[in-house]
Structure 1
């Protein structure tokens, strides 16, 4: 049973469920379902598929995540960023064929799930920290602005002919002349009801009421005769699996976008999951979360849905209503399933303008330009990184922007590893080893030079390590008899290029009459020296168990040398 619990952490909680949690979980589930319904329908339109597909994308994925996930509060489902990415990839490939469009969406969703499961198998949960916060901020702000501009066509009653944001903005004067007054009035009514509900009943699902009111008006007053567009017939019922029917070669076009989507979805989901886990006092497992996200996406593809991620707004609703366990996801999924199977007829009257308003409001919540501007004062490098990602999404598109964001994250990591900080070490009045700085709390030791390199050594930064060590040594070379390298932070794995560099350093220092010594990882280093054919001890490089032992031995040697009688 423990093995099963390890694979499906949610089962442990469900099998040991306490009855006192049920009231809070049921209340939270009703609230989550009420918020998820209109958002799922709106995101289906954003993705370019039937409204029922948005509902399917909530049902099985929520149930599957409840079993495989380690977060007690996280709700998975359609997300603005993931839907925008899918639409950007699939729309040009489908070339106006709605069936092909839907099947490509399903295929990309399955591929995203595949990448997530592969990442979990290789324990790549560390990718949760791969995209830095500044890069993710730029990405989400760019996606939000792109969605907002795109949805204005639904709100104003026209259709964009251009694909990219800049071209769309350039055609604004022409498009404004095509604005449809009844559609604009419907959008304004939706906005009024939404914010009116938010003010009068803050805890109620304002989006659901606004959309329902608009649909009721369309049905009662037959507003379609005024050319107010609705989402049309919603094919409800149980989803029937359909094998993709298109040229298999198209799948090649989906491989890298699906990988990008997997990374972005996971990073975004982990930010939400970690914040609520911290708030509620428990930990989550990043590798298992990768598996849970992959399985949720597979479940969505099998039920003819589209890609899902962690939904921060629905997770916040869950937490605010006191949701205790993953049972919230299961109950909410059942409610949505009943509607998707039995109650889809009223959905066809939902005005497209109302859904556009809901998407714009949801995207505005993604925007945080104030935080971007604050970065300018806190960290200019992070600020410029955010701006590059933001403008890349706006100017060259969502997919190239995400690709650039992933590459920036990779380059940022490589730069950190290749050019890390380093320190010269000394000891304070209590004999504790610490960095030498302007505070003068630590002093250097006569005749001994201690160096620390704050990154794992590998073939692509070994030359930099050698150069930095020799530069720092040159500044302190007066009467230096011994150079000690703190081996703990930098010698983490065997790299023959690093071993060759170390041998070169030893030769350089021996010619200058200086001993080269390493402190820490003694057993590992001696084993690596043997494999690399490097001598240790008096004939090569000295290796000590730790820095303090290295210092004691060298200081004792200095005392012994001073006590030797001169001839």
Structure 2
């Protein structure tokens, strides 16, 4: 409703006119970027244009380099940097995330497709397009099933360990480009051995060009961050190769890059290959979708938190799927969120998703008019760029933090890295998922089970963490920090009886804190009933504290009220504690806040 003011000063309520953007808002439910683009503010244009050009300056060298990493012609990396950006701008919920070729994703593509293609270049391109298409479709299906929580499934230590392994794999895989000889083996350990045995075959002019590229990559950030170091390294190395005629001396270069935009559609042999290799492609696509989405969400959430807005993880799944499908239909390969290009956009002042559109337009213009200079870029310089990209994936800082905070999390991360080293990138995805499942099962099935004591003026706390916590003779205050269901019911009963055994003779009340017991099932109810029976046999009474009404209604609704006959129930642990002291004849009530003022401690 709106109000119209008459000459008398009285406000009259009137119906508002039809809102012109209602259709746009409805469209935004399907394509979240459309309302932002329609309502785009001119004030953001200079910032987004500058950021888009900066992103393109990074996307050009890394797109070419990542195409080489994945086993494609250089131009394919540029194809994968146009339509995916447009698709994400339409369907994504992050204002800043830049999608495109990604080091980890490209390493996974090469590991998945190379064994199937068996050296057939046409099959390699078609299989890679299929992989991107399937990964995109799986992402969209995951969005409809609201599986965005999978972004949290691979814990930070597991994801860091996996990416560290990928980084080592990428860096070693570029050794042949730096030294000027072919490396035929696959896998981290075999490649390391082959490089060591072939080091005497080093082509020194190639190594000199690689060294020059490294010098530029290291020094550029120290002089200026306005120019992308990767782009400058490729330009300098290409200029040196062209000026000195090093191509004739055996220094490998990219060669001619075909101009023009990609044709739309899938390769002709796609259907035949899809039928022949459906199982392998779907398995690899699922792994790539999970890893690329988890990695992309780390980037998207980081910049959303920095700039104070939210991203919708389920819609992000769909947006990444649309971007991958767009890449597949434009002769590209599977893509992901690009942290370096997103950081470049943010640092250059990019405000909206339009920065990605400007980046896509810039790459398209290069493909139309500026592919000629790319032929002089030395392969050794691309190897140097990829090694620097791999080093950016290597996260030693997080490993140090894991070691300080939790040694088990550190070990988990190291095991994930060793999984990549031992079984390879694709199989390591399954290994990482298995680690995540085992970690989840351990946390859910073995939550902390604690005996509590009273801390003067601070409520009730675990005896193991508070030396000043006191207990009353004949009383156990027990807390189980998790749901009581089928996979931990036996553990709950075992830990409760172990606490009873430690208390010894003279125990009268076993008070169970019901607040952390967020969920029950039949196995949980049976465990409580069995515990009550065993305690009764020992002359001990089971007492509940907390969730009085909720648990009563839950048991009554399921006809289980007679299964657990609890005669004493209290609203809080403090009430149960006071009641026991009063019953035991200790009338002196501990001083401290009231129940209302001081809930039980953690």
Partner of 1:462: 489
Partner of 2:207: 184
**Does 2:242 align with 1:242?**
no
Distance in 2 (CA, whole Å) between partners of 1:377 and 1:404 is 25
1:271 corresponds, among 265, 281, 298, to: 298
Partner of 2:560: 534
1:462 Cα shift? 0.9
The SS at the match of 1:225 is coil
The SS at the match of 2:154 is coil
Native 8 Å contact 1:503 1:534 kept in 2: no
Native 8 Å contact 1:152 1:356 kept in 2: yes
Partner of 2:191: 168
Partner of 1:500: 526
Native 8 Å contact 2:266 2:328 kept in 1: no
The 5-angstrom pairing of residues 316-335 of structure 1 reads 316-335=343-362
Distance in 2 (CA, whole Å) between partners of 1:309 and 1:164 is 23
1:29 Cα shift? 0.9
Distance in 2 (CA, whole Å) between partners of 1:169 and 1:560 is 73
Distance in 2 (CA, whole Å) between partners of 1:514 and 1:91 is 67
Q: Which has the higher helix share?
A: 1
Distance in 1 (CA, whole Å) between partners of 2:575 and 2:398 is 50
Moved more, 198-207 or 306-315: 198-207
Distance in 2 (CA, whole Å) between partners of 1:251 and 1:208 is 38
**Residues 376 and 417 of structure 1, relative CA distance in 2, 3 Å threshold:** same
The 5-angstrom pairing of residues 137-148 of structure 1 reads 137-148=160-171
Deviations 1:33-88 (A, max 9, x none): 10011101110111112222211212122222223222222211111111101101
1:555 Cα shift? 4.8
The SS at the match of 1:277 is helix
Distance in 2 (CA, whole Å) between partners of 1:30 and 1:337 is 12
**Residues 480 and 67 of structure 1, relative CA distance in 2, 3 Å threshold:** farther
Instruction: Report the TM-score, using the length of structure 2 for normalisation.
Output: 0.85
Native 8 Å contact 1:238 1:341 kept in 2: no
Distance in 1 (CA, whole Å) between partners of 2:568 and 2:138 is 43
Moved more, 225-234 or 251-260: 225-234
**Residues 174 and 445 of structure 1, relative CA distance in 2, 3 Å threshold:** closer
2:315 corresponds, among 283, 288, 293, to: 288
1:450 corresponds, among 477, 498, 508, to: 477
Native 8 Å contact 2:478 2:496 kept in 1: yes
**Residues 414 and 174 of structure 1, relative CA distance in 2, 3 Å threshold:** same
1:194 Cα shift? 3.6
Distance in 1 (CA, whole Å) between partners of 2:467 and 2:285 is 53
Native 8 Å contact 1:155 1:184 kept in 2: yes
Partner of 1:385: 412
1:229 Cα shift? 2.2
Distance in 1 (CA, whole Å) between partners of 2:214 and 2:465 is 59
Instruction: Report the TM-score, using the length of structure 1 for normalisation.
Output: 0.90
Distance in 2 (CA, whole Å) between partners of 1:297 and 1:288 is 14
Q: How many positions carry a matched residue from both structures?
A: 559
Partner of 1:68: 91
Unpaired runs of 5+ residues, structure 2, are 1-21, 587-602
Partner of 2:592: none
Distance in 1 (CA, whole Å) between partners of 2:381 and 2:306 is 34
Deviations 1:191-248 (A, max 9, x none): 3444454343332022112223434455566544333322334343233312514261
1:388 Cα shift? 1.7
Distance in 2 (CA, whole Å) between partners of 1:80 and 1:91 is 16
Distance in 2 (CA, whole Å) between partners of 1:293 and 1:274 is 14
Partner of 2:102: 79
2:431 corresponds, among 393, 404, 409, to: 404
2:251 corresponds, among 218, 221, 228, to: 228
Distance in 1 (CA, whole Å) between partners of 2:39 and 2:477 is 55
**Residues 370 and 196 of structure 1, relative CA distance in 2, 3 Å threshold:** closer
The SS at the match of 2:85 is helix
The SS at the match of 2:248 is helix
**Residues 373 and 431 of structure 1, relative CA distance in 2, 3 Å threshold:** closer
**Residues 545 and 330 of structure 1, relative CA distance in 2, 3 Å threshold:** farther
1:468 Cα shift? 0.6
1:352 corresponds, among 366, 369, 379, to: 379
Unpaired runs of 5+ residues, structure 1, are none
**Does 2:132 align with 1:109?**
yes
Native 8 Å contact 1:519 1:546 kept in 2: yes
Native 8 Å contact 1:451 1:486 kept in 2: yes
Native 8 Å contact 2:511 2:576 kept in 1: no
1:437 Cα shift? 4.7
1:119 corresponds, among 142, 167, 177, to: 142
Native 8 Å contact 1:191 1:357 kept in 2: yes
Partner of 2:4: none
Deviations 1:242-261 (A, max 9, x none): 25142613120122222222
1:359 Cα shift? 0.7
1:328 Cα shift? 0.9
Distance in 2 (CA, whole Å) between partners of 1:219 and 1:503 is 83
**Residues 428 and 169 of structure 1, relative CA distance in 2, 3 Å threshold:** closer
Distance in 1 (CA, whole Å) between partners of 2:468 and 2:146 is 42
Moved more, 539-548 or 283-292: 539-548
Native 8 Å contact 1:520 1:543 kept in 2: no
The SS at the match of 1:457 is coil
The 5-angstrom pairing of residues 502-521 of structure 1 reads 502-521=528-547
